[in-house]
Chain A
């Protein structure tokens, strides 16, 4: 293939330009084709979930995409048999506590590490960052033993304590606060503003962007967390949504065969609110990932 286009004459240049326009058009078409293919592949499993959740039991075995006699029976069954409302509430409580605590303490620590001079500061920063590498799988064993010793199992305190502050959040906010000019803070000090006042009224508003990004990522992480809630609670009243769906789905075995209609209804109940969220908050989620890079 020729790679170097030598422009000898006008005619050659025109030909080259024409072939490039053609190639751009083909590339554009190919790009659309690929992205649409990926989008359809993404969408199909959700449609399958939805359609099966609406199928009466007799129809499940026929693998038609649309139910012939759609019914809400599966939803009614799952919602009356299991405390989905309670599971939503539990998940909501855990998420709110995690987000509020993460935002507060990460910004506080980030502020201290970015704008104060004290012996040990850089060592503290490296120490906090290093904890990112430790896998949760290692920590859950001592957490589990500790939760039992301190009677934290089957409680909100037990559910939330591993997610109160994230090292990643401290890092993000330290970087954001570093870019705030020192003069601004000094001016506030000269005006007699107290240190907590500066944190609340100057620092926090100036890092609203990174804070909202961190809030979204923390909420998502705490919403889909499975391993820790699975271990620390064992009574259905205290389940979070992920553990609850697992519990409900495993309870739907009939004659050693899963009742897929009810399982899909349970999965739909647990995932549709978040799917609606991404449709309405896509802009913020995209911006969140763009500014911070990493999920939870």
Chain B
């Protein structure tokens, strides 16, 4: 029997998509359901005694002070880090547009942290923030009361945010630069002929036309901040001092692999997932502006 052309086309489509589809099913979708299943179990990886306990893990999680501390830390960290890195990167991208000579060299320097792992950043800044580090030395020379930022519960979380801001300025600057380059030059020329000031150009042309980029980049930045694990883990170990740097991803890791409580860890991951979805949705709703030329 000879297959019709359309049938043959469909058959090849299925052949090509089969393995990737199976992969996403096995590695992403089934584990997601498994994680939910874990979350309704009393499940300790050290004991063989696993039993169904309904929503007990969720209940005990919501009553845990450390959980609410982690929620608040995660949100504050994400807010400070995202606003910090987005504003610095936007200014840097705008400044780069004005450069003529030396642009590539400077961009290369700013891009260096892009290929530096979070672990390496964490160790470098652990030294900078340590008793013998230059940041501590400068702060104590300025008579700051607690010059060691990482041992003070008031400042540790923000000190970590500073590290990840430092580490991603290059990347976000590049994303903004890509967005700025899509704005047609004629729009600026026309506005300049009409006598618009630089601030007016920025306020009424750059910002509205950059809006799609801003929405995308903020969602990327906020999601990445919510999920940060490597820097927090490497700089603080267990989220200290006194849980002041405990974030949700770190709490999930500690719960699952130190307290061996898979059930509770899974319950936290679901709340974490919900968080990311809700925050992304709010960002889409509040940031998106309609662009009219």
Chain B contact residues (Cβ within 8 angstroms of A): what range? 35 or more
Interface string of B161-198 (1 = CB under 8 A from A): 00000100111001100100000000000000001111
Tell me, in angstroms, the Cα distance from A241 to B119 when the chains sit together.
10
Chain A contact residues (Cβ within 8 angstroms of B): what range? 35 or more
Tell me, in angstroms, the Cα distance from A168 to B170 when the chains sit together.
21
> What is the chain A residue whose CB lies nearest that of B171?
A295
Q: Is B24 touching A127 in the complex (CB atoms < 8 A)?
A: yes
Q: Is B110 touching A42 in the complex (CB atoms < 8 A)?
A: yes
28 A-B pairs within 8 Å (CB atoms) are namely A4-B195, A28-B99, A34-B91, A38-B88, A42-B166, A43-B109, A45-B128, A46-B124, A60-B132, A63-B137, A105-B19, A112-B13, A116-B10, A116-B16, A127-B21, A128-B20, A128-B24, A137-B227, A141-B35, A141-B262, A141-B265, A143-B31, A165-B24, A227-B229, A260-B130, A263-B123, A274-B115, A290-B174
Q: Is B269 touching A138 in the complex (CB atoms < 8 A)?
A: yes
Residues 68 to 102 of chain B near chain A (Cβ within 8 Å): 88, 91-92, 94-100
> What is the chain A residue whose CB lies nearest that of B263?
A141
Query: Which 6 residue pairs of A and B lie closest in terms of their CB atoms, listed nearest first?
Result: A116-B13, A224-B117, A31-B98, A142-B31, A112-B16, A5-B195
Known: A41-B166, A48-B128. A165 touches B115 (CB 8 A): no
Interface string of A1-29 (1 = CB under 8 A from B): 10111110000000010000001000110
Chain A residue numbers with a CB within 8 Å of B107 are 282, 286
Known: A39-B106, A109-B20, A128-B21. A121 touches B95 (CB 8 A): no
Q: Is A134 touching B117 in the complex (CB atoms < 8 A)?
A: no
Q: Which residues of A contact B (CB under 8 A)?
A: 1, 3-7, 16, 23, 27-28, 30-32, 34-36, 38-39, 41-43, 45-46, 48-49, 52, 60-61, 63, 105-106, 108-109, 111-113, 116-119, 121, 124, 127-128, 131, 133-146, 161-162, 164-165, 167, 170, 195, 199, 220, 223-224, 226-227, 231, 241-242, 245-246, 249, 258, 260, 263-264, 266-267, 270-271, 274-275, 277-279, 282, 285-286, 289-290, 293-295
Main secondary structure of the interface of A (DSSP, over half): helix
Chain A residue numbers with a CB within 8 Å of B14 are 112, 118
Q: Which residues of B contact A (CB under 8 A)?
A: 6, 9-14, 16-17, 19-21, 23-24, 27-32, 34-35, 38, 45, 88, 91-92, 94-100, 104, 106-121, 123-128, 130, 132-134, 137, 166, 169-171, 174-175, 178, 195-198, 200, 216, 220, 227, 229-230, 233-234, 248-249, 252-253, 256-257, 262, 265-266, 269-270, 272-273, 276-277, 280
Q: Which of B6, B92, B197, B227 contacts A38 (CB 8 A)?
A: B92
Q: A139-B32, A278-B114 are in contact. List 12 more A-B contacts (CB 8 A).
A: A3-B196, A32-B99, A48-B127, A108-B17, A133-B277, A138-B31, A139-B28, A161-B27, A220-B115, A258-B126, A264-B127, A275-B115
Q: Is B166 touching A137 in the complex (CB atoms < 8 A)?
A: no
Chain A residue numbers with a CB within 8 Å of B88 are 38
Q: Which of A4, A48, A162, A293 contacts B178 (CB 8 A)?
A: A293
Q: Is A245 touching B120 in the complex (CB atoms < 8 A)?
A: yes
Tell me, in angstroms, the Cα distance from A295 to B118 when the chains sit together.
14
